[in-house]
Amino acid sequence: MAVRINPSILTADFANLEHELGRIASADLVHVDVMDNHFVPNLTFGQRMVESLQRVTPLPLDVHLMIDDPDRWAPGYAEAGAFSVTFHAEAAADPVPLARRLRSIGARAGIAVKPGTAIEPYLELLPEFDQVLVMTVEPGFGGQSFIESVMPKLGLLRDAASRSGLDTWLQVDGGINEQTIITAAEAGANTFVAGSSVFNAADPAAQIESLRAAAATHLH
């Protein structure tokens, strides 16, 4: 099974994003954290930024929407060219029709859960999603500590996916470094978002490779 390393540009220099994207050219996808100052107490980018980023990188964009009312706004990110669009379970009124709409536009559909949100209600919906994002910090900010107590969610997801014969990407986001990535890989994750550990490294490309190597040797 493949390991995917998705650096989050939340910790990048927002005034030099084209240059920052060049430093992570060996990544699998670029994780783009969209925050609306309502669902989370922080504000970042919108749809135009996704369009602009896509023009300056060949890497696929993995858009993580930390916004209210994704039912209304998420399809616009798929139309903007995002490779994957992940919305929060806590914010969506109708996750299944929304996921179908994202897929019909041509994006991979993802659903995210905050650390305090149970995953059980979503296990039966797995066929509707291409990826599930298990937050390993409270969404809103980079540089927080990994919450290990959410790891059992990955086991439940992995079992549900394999029972249904699905290759659902199981993603973790928050506090991922060379140590915590091992814990998450052993628990069942195969797609890893890393913000500060990549962009605060002296050599982001070398850091991506160490994360990839650490995960690959501990993949479930």
Residue 60's binding partner out of Zn ion, ligand DX5, none, with CB under 5 to 8 Å set by partner kind: none
Short-list 201, 171, 204, CA closest to 3: 171
The structure tokens 């209304």 sit at: 72
* Contact in structure between 50 and 32 (CB atoms under 8 Å): yes
Q: What phi, psi does 127 have (nearest 5°)?
A: -60, -20
Is 69 part of the annotated catalytic residue set?
no
CA distances from 99 to 15, 149, 159 (A): 33, 28, 21
Question: Minimum CB separation from ligand DX5 for residue 10, in Å?
Answer: 3
Question: Minimum CB separation from ligand DX5 for residue 167, in Å?
Answer: 23
Catalytic residue (one of 28, 33, 36, 62): 33
Count of chain residues binding ligand DX5 (CB under 6 A): 21
Helices 70-79 and 47-56 sit at what angle, rounded to 10 degrees?
20
Residue 86's binding partner out of ligand DX5, Zn ion, none, with CB under 5 to 8 Å set by partner kind: none
Q: Find the distance separating the first CA and the last CA of the chain, reported in whole Å.
A: 9
* Contact in structure between 132 and 168 (CB atoms under 8 Å): yes
Site for Zn ion in 114-133 (CB under 5 A): none
Q: Is 144 in the site for ligand DX5 (CB under 6 A)?
A: yes
Site for Zn ion in 150-209 (CB under 5 A): 173
Question: Minimum CB separation from Zn ion for residue 135, in Å?
Answer: 8
SS3 167: coil
Q: Is 143 in the site for ligand DX5 (CB under 6 A)?
A: yes
The encoded tokens of residue 10 equal 């939340």
**The one among 70, 95, 139, 188 contacting ligand DX5 by CB under 6 A:** 139
Site for ligand DX5 in 78-107 (CB under 6 A): none
Site for ligand DX5 in 192-211 (CB under 6 A): 193-197
* Contact in structure between 139 and 66 (CB atoms under 8 Å): yes
Shorter beta-carbon distance to ligand DX5: residue 84 or 197: 197
Contacts of 26 (CB under 8 A, 6+ apart): 205, 208, 209
Q: Is 62 in the site for Zn ion (CB under 5 A)?
A: no
Is 68 part of the annotated catalytic residue set?
no
Catalytic residue (one of 13, 159, 173, 203): 173
SS3 209: helix
Binding site for ligand DX5 (CB under 6 A): 8, 10-11, 31, 33, 64, 137, 139-140, 142-144, 173-176, 193-197
Instruction: Give me the active site residues, please.
Output: 33, 173
